[in-house]
């Protein structure tokens, strides 16, 4: 069975600080996909990134970066120079194609609060 | 350019009532799914469909039915609402089952009293 753990329930930082959101996943499948979604206070879910299990390259998109490490089954998300608009709940999710229900397994989310 | 459209946005039901949450997408996506979001639980998969005429159960299917008669529509039916079904429901679609980029609807906030 698949599992995604986001151990940080809530993080609060002051604007301009860097912050890392942790994500640890469990799966027996060798082919899988990892995702991060953002849920701002308005409630919609915004896709941020998708990574497949064969691509361990780190990715940077503006102030956002992602560190994928298969050795530790982690897919961490870092926001550099945080801004108030980054305040949201962030979800890490896993999709595997090796049987079972075809859908995303979500972590419980990390509520990120950026204080001005 | 509607994307994934869910209706209604808010609904209050009495215990035992039935209703249908509507979901439509205009991106010609084969894969559609329903999730529920509960506080501190993340999102959990209810049902999904890999194409018209094909549906299957997710992690928490009890109390819900789905059908997929067209590519565009994937309604979720609550047969006899219970307070435990109070939740926010999200419909999602993607090009294929591998969730290349799942597009989510705005959500339906359902309260069962």
A86-102 in b/e burial notation, b at 16+ Cβ within 10 A? bbbbbbbbbbbeeeebb
Distance from CA of A2 to the nearest CA of B (A): 11
Give residue B2's pLDDT band: very low, low, confident or very high (50, 70, 90): confident
Instruction: Tell me the average pLDDT across A30-49.
Output: 93
Report pLDDT digits (tens) over A57-107.
Answer: 888 889 999 999 999 999 999 999 999 999 999 999 999 866 566 788 999
Least CB–CB distance from A104: residue in B50, B88, B102: B102
Residue A64 sits at the chain B interface (C-beta within 8 Å): no
Q: Which of A2, A66, A10, A71 is nearest to A37 (CA)?
A: A66
What is the Cα Rg of chain B in Å? 13
Which residues of chain B does A91 touch, with a Cβ-Cβ cutoff of 8 Å?
42-43
Give the three-class secondary structure for A59. strand
pLDDT at residue A100 in the model: 62
Distance from CA of B6 to the nearest CA of A (A): 12
Q: Which of B111, B91, B93, B90 is nearest to B102 (CA)?
A: B93
DSSP state of B30: S
CB contact under 8 Å between B48 and A35, yes or no, is no
Report pLDDT digits (tens) over A43-62.
Answer: 999 999 999 899 888 888 89
Q: Looking at chain B, how many residues does it have?
A: 113
Give the three-class secondary structure for B64. strand
- Mean per-residue pLDDT over chain B, rounded: 93
Residue A14 sits at the chain B interface (C-beta within 8 Å): no
Give residue B29's pLDDT band: very low, low, confident or very high (50, 70, 90): very high
Instruction: Tell me the average pLDDT across B21-34.
Output: 95
Q: Which residues of B touch A (CB under 8 A)?
A: 31, 33, 35, 40-45, 48, 50, 56-59, 88, 90, 92, 97-104, 106-107
Q: Is the pLDDT of residue B94 over 70?
A: yes
pLDDT at residue B97 in the model: 72
CB contact under 8 Å between A103 and B98, yes or no, is no
The dihedral through the CA atoms of A47, B91, A23, A28 has a sign that is negative
CB contact under 8 Å between A108 and B35, yes or no, is no
Q: Is the pLDDT of residue A19 over 90?
A: yes
Q: Which of A23, A46, A25 is nearest to A95 (CA)?
A: A25
Lowest mean pLDDT among A27-31, B46-50, B58-62, B71-75: A27-31
Lowest mean pLDDT among A15-29, A45-59, B92-106: B92-106
In this structure, the number of other CB atoms found within 10 A of the CB of residue B111 comes to 13
Q: Are A3 and A105 in contact (CB under 8 A)?
A: yes
Q: Is the pLDDT of residue B86 over 80?
A: yes
Give the three-class secondary structure for B83. helix
Which residues of chain A does B98 touch, with a Cβ-Cβ cutoff of 8 Å?
33, 95, 97
pLDDT at residue A40 in the model: 95
Q: Is the pLDDT of residue B27 over 90?
A: yes
Residue A110 sits at the chain B interface (C-beta within 8 Å): no
pLDDT at residue B1 in the model: 60
Give residue B41's pLDDT band: very low, low, confident or very high (50, 70, 90): confident
CB contact under 8 Å between B42 and A108, yes or no, is yes
The dihedral through the CA atoms of B89, B73, B4, A35 has a sign that is positive
In this structure, the number of other CB atoms found within 10 A of the CB of residue B59 comes to 16
For A17, the token pair is 């600080």
How many contacts, defined by CB atoms under 8 Å, are there between A and B?
63
């Amino acid at each position: 069975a698949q599992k995604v753990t986001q151990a940080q329930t809530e993080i609060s930082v002051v604007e301009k600080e860097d912050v890392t959101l942790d994500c640890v996943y469990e799966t027996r499948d060798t082919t899988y996909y990892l995702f991060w979604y953002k849920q701002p206070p308005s409630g919609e879910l915004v896709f941020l990134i998708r990574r497949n299990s064969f691509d361990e390259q780190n990715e940077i998109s503006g102030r956002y970066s992602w560190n994928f490490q298969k050795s530790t089954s982690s897919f961490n998300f870092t926001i550099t120079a945080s801004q108030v608009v980054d305040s949201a709940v962030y979800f890490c999710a896993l999709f595997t194609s090796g049987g079972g229900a075809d859908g995303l397994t979500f972590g419980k989310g990390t509520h990120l609060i950026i204080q001005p | 350019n509607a994307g994934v459209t869910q209706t209604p946005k808010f609904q209050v039901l009495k215990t035992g009532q039935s209703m249908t949450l509507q979901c439509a997408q205009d991106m010609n996506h084969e894969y559609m799914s329903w999730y529920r979001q509960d506080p501190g639980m993340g999102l959990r998969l209810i049902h999904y469909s890999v194409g018209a005429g094909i549906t299957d159960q997710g992690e928490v299917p009890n109390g819900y039915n789905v059908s997929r008669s067209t590519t565009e529509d994937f309604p979720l039916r609550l047969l006899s609402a219970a307070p435990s079904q109070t939740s926010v429901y999200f419909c999602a679609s993607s090009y294929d089952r591998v969730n290349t980029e799942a597009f989510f609807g705005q959500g339906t906030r359902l309260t069962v009293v």
